[in-house]
Structure 1
Amino acid sequence: MTVKLGVNIDHIATIREARKIREPDPVAAAIIAELAGCHGIVAHLREDKRHIQDRDLKLLRGTVATKLDLQISTNPEMVQFAINVQPDMVTLVPENSQEITTEAGMNVAAKIDEISKIVMTLKNNDIATCVFIDPETEQVKAAKKVGADFVEFNTARYATACDLGSIQEVNREISSIQDMTVLAKKYGLRIIAGHGLNYRNVEPIAAIEGIEELNIGHSIVARAALVGLENAVKEMLDIIRRATP
């Protein structure tokens, strides 16, 4: 089975918001990414609105032809916004106003009741649900308990190990993701992975049997600044296809 690619367009909006003008347009970026062959568009509407804005999501909902995955916190206002916009999927992620980017997976195990209610509310509104978690047994079991459809494994530790050149740590993180993928599948959960994946480190993750999709943003947008977004997406798709078991 070919692993799918979801392109996160947050960093297109980050460039736009640096000048508080109209370009580059994340909606236009989504269209280009889809035409290049990606399988979904990912956008994180943060509470502080530092990049993606409400208007972007409303336009994306009317534009995206593949799958729109909206990442939000558990803030009730964000949940209600998601219900109003009706993305194909909502991924619940932790937020810290001081962070540069998402720092860790959500501690679902510590918020079973709260997240269960949100998941049920979203499902009652015909929205698929995903929780962004670290690849840990406790969190996978919690994802099953709250009723999520998908888990997205946080690959940040793996990406950091790759950057540091620690082969032992890289292998440890790959093994952890492999084991948690098996466990998640056992519980009937579907698996996505992402965070820190790039053109140099994506292959071993794409090769893990059971992972359906990879969500990648910063690396693709950075590459797009040099070769164009269409080429950047196609290059990533080629790498993922070569790695697919």
Structure 2
Amino acid sequence: MPQSGFIRLGVNIDHVATLRNARGGTHPDPVEAAKVAIAAGADGITAHLREDRRHITDADMERLAVLCEDENIPLNMELAATDEMVSVAMRLKPHAACIVPERREERTTEGGLDVAGQHNRLVPIIAQLADAGCCVSLFIEANPHQIEAAASTRANVVEFHTGAYAHALDDGDQTKADAILEQLREGGRLAHAAGLEVHYGHGLTFDNVAPIARINEAKELNIGHFIIGEAVFLGLQPAIERMATLIRDARAS
């Protein structure tokens, strides 16, 4: 039976900036990548302004905010729950602000935000962003305790971390992947029932995206690293178009 509703593809352009920063200078330009993504049919642009500015910079975010406003396409700013990052978001007022856990020593985001454990600290930050007009998203594990905590804030969205699912498949452990997939499905049901919009992201590829896209409650998938990597072989626009086709075909199947 076809799954219900349209599903959006948000394209994360962080790692275009990673490549640029490896040599310094201005090329390749992540804002130009965002333009290509929009032309290829992306439904939104995602960028993570990290505290150490390892890829996206403040100037990139400013230019992305202008581009997305001009193109009337959502900008999803990923940020840590710090005064500095919240201040940037308050100034730029992106369509969405996705609060993620962040550790300087990690290569990439390694897990979900502990909303339950940090509830009292997060609630005023979420309120501040919501009052500024941002759609606030929390990047969490598909854990009932975390979903319940997220629902008790003013967050509009939860984005479930799909990294463990992707890693299990990479390791050839289909049984583990199937168990995690069921947790992601159940998380979607619980979050939707709690009034939260449901997104998924991290580690998604051409090969593993279809089961996630088929989750009935999923409204958006955010994908970056794999798309940017495949662009080396296919070109950025064809890589995005292929991912979008796989997602929408899975949704219709």
Q: TM-score range by the shorter chain?
A: over 0.9
**Partner letter of residue 205 of structure 2?**
N
Which SS does the other structure have where 1:63 is aligned? helix
Mapping for residues 123-202 of structure 1, pairs under 5 Å: 123-202=130-209
1:29 aligns with 2:33: yes
For the residues of structure 1 that align with 2:174 and 2:29, how far apart are their CA atoms? 39
Q: CA RMSD in A?
A: 0.7
Q: After TM superposition, give the deviation of residue 160 of structure 1 in Å.
A: 0.6
For the residues of structure 1 that align with 2:52 and 2:105, how far apart are their CA atoms? 10
User: Residue 84 of structure 1 corresponds to which residue in structure 2?
Assistant: 91
Is the 2:130–2:154 contact (alpha carbons within 8 Å) kept by the matching residues of 1? no
**Partner letter of residue 103 of structure 2?**
N
**Partner letter of residue 54 of structure 1?**
D
User: TM-score by structure 1 length?
Assistant: 0.99
- In the alignment, structure 2 segments of 5+ residues that lack a partner are none
For the residues of structure 2 that align with 1:127 and 1:99, how far apart are their CA atoms? 27
Match of 2:126 among 112, 119, 139: 119
For the residues of structure 1 that align with 2:125 and 2:14, how far apart are their CA atoms? 24
Which SS does the other structure have where 1:84 is aligned? helix
Which SS does the other structure have where 2:152 is aligned? helix
For the residues of structure 1 that align with 2:64 and 2:218, how far apart are their CA atoms? 26
Q: After TM superposition, give the deviation of residue 154 of structure 1 in Å.
A: 0.1
Number of residue-to-residue matches in the alignment: 245
Per-residue deviation, residues 217-245 of structure 1 (Å, max 9, x unmatched) = 01100111111111010000010011004
Q: Between the two proteins, what is the percent identity of the paired residues?
A: 40
For the residues of structure 2 that align with 1:226 and 1:167, how far apart are their CA atoms? 28
| Structure 1 moving runs of 4+ over 3 Å | none
User: Residue 60 of structure 1 corresponds to which residue in structure 2?
Assistant: 64
User: Residue 69 of structure 1 corresponds to which residue in structure 2?
Assistant: 76
For the residues of structure 1 that align with 2:158 and 2:151, how far apart are their CA atoms? 9
